[in-house]
């Protein structure tokens, strides 16, 4: 019996080692995707910078979801901010959005001195994509001479 328990223990260890070394590995890796060099990089957010501008300059009135509504400004002024997701916002061509953002009016401040022309164009694309489901803007209005207004 003296040799029985140690012999049994050695035999179990040998069986364990043998069974582990005979395991086959599958061709797929179980490593996390972050450590896998063959993974495709995530698509960058084309509106990342514009989201920041919207959050800083527009969100306090138009809301996170772009739905606007009644807003009370710090000076006590009450505004009824347009919904960017539906209604008349869907019927305006990009030039109307550009003019409203740059010149302001109807309670909206002018962003002529805060945003570059490229930032305004990016904001319009952002609004169309994020709040209007990527819809195509209506055709630009034509003047009597056939030029865009």
Per-residue pLDDT of the chain (149 residues; tens, 9 = 90+): 555 666 666 665 666 566 655 555 555 545 555 555 556 667 788 999 999 999 999 999 999 999 999 999 889 989 999 999 999 899 999 999 999 999 999 889 999 999 999 999 999 999 999 999 988 888 887 755 555 55
pLDDT score for 83: 95
Q: What are phi and psi of 87, to 5 degrees?
A: 70, -140
Task: Report all structural domains of the chain as residue ranges with CATH numbers, in order of start.
Answer: 48-131 (1.10.760.10)
CA distance 53 to 32: 35
pLDDT score for 80: 93
The pTM (predicted TM-score) of the whole model is: 0.66
pLDDT score for 137: 86
Helix/strand/coil for 75: coil
């Amino acid at each position: 019996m003296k040799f029985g328990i140690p012999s049994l223990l050695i035999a179990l260890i040998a069986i364990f080692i043998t069974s582990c070394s005979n395991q086959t590995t599958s061709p797929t890796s179980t490593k996390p995707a972050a450590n896998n060099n063959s993974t495709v990089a995530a698509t960058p957010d084309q509106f990342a910078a514009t989201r920041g501008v919207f959050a800083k300059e527009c969100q306090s009135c138009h809301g996170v979801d772009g739905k606007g509504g009644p807003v009370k400004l710090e000076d006590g002024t009450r505004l009824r901010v347009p919904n960017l997701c539906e209604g008349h916002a869907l019927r305006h061509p990009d030039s109307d959005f550009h003019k409203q953002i740059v010149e302001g009016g109807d309670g909206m401040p002018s962003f002529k001195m805060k945003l570059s022309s490229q930032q305004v164009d990016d904001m319009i694309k952002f609004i169309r994509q994020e709040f209007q489901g990527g819809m195509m803007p209506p055709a630009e209005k034509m003047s009597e001479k056939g030029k865009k207004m």
